[in-house]
Amino acid sequence: MATRWEYCILTRMSTALDTKWYANRVFRYHSAHEAEETTSAYYRGINAKVDALHEVADYPLLPAILNLLGGEGWELIDDMNTGMSGGEGLVLKREVTARAAAKPKAAAKKPAARASRRR
């Protein structure tokens, strides 16, 4: 069976001296000026940990962030230009675990037992 991978994009957003990193942030746009963040709970948790590292302000942050993700099984495989001013992305992958690959199957309904009638 072939190895299955999942991917994460760690995006850097910079404004002057401030650099923030975010993992797999996802937005649903309702209009050009209105967006709702729909990032999964897992990545919101990772991003909260990254924000906590940023608040401590021990620079450089990137090694600490990569160590955080490495502890979750992520491996850095490439970098990319996001096309946004001051933005770049780092591509990470990890093997899909049995937990993520195995989804609970719906229980099959059993036909109702019919009461036997005596004649």
Break the chain into its structural domains and give their ranges: 5-99
- Which long-range contacts does 21-30 make (Cβ < 8 Å, 24+ apart)? 21/50, 21/54, 21/61, 21/62, 21/65, 22/47, 22/50, 23/47, 23/50, 23/69
What's the mean pLDDT when you consider all of the chain?
79
- Answer yes or no: pTM beyond 0.85: no
> In CATH, what number does 5-99 get?
3.30.1410
- Residue 47 pLDDT class (50, 70, 90 cuts): very high
Amino acid 119: pLDDT:
47
What is the percentage of the chain residues whose pLDDT exceeds 70? 72
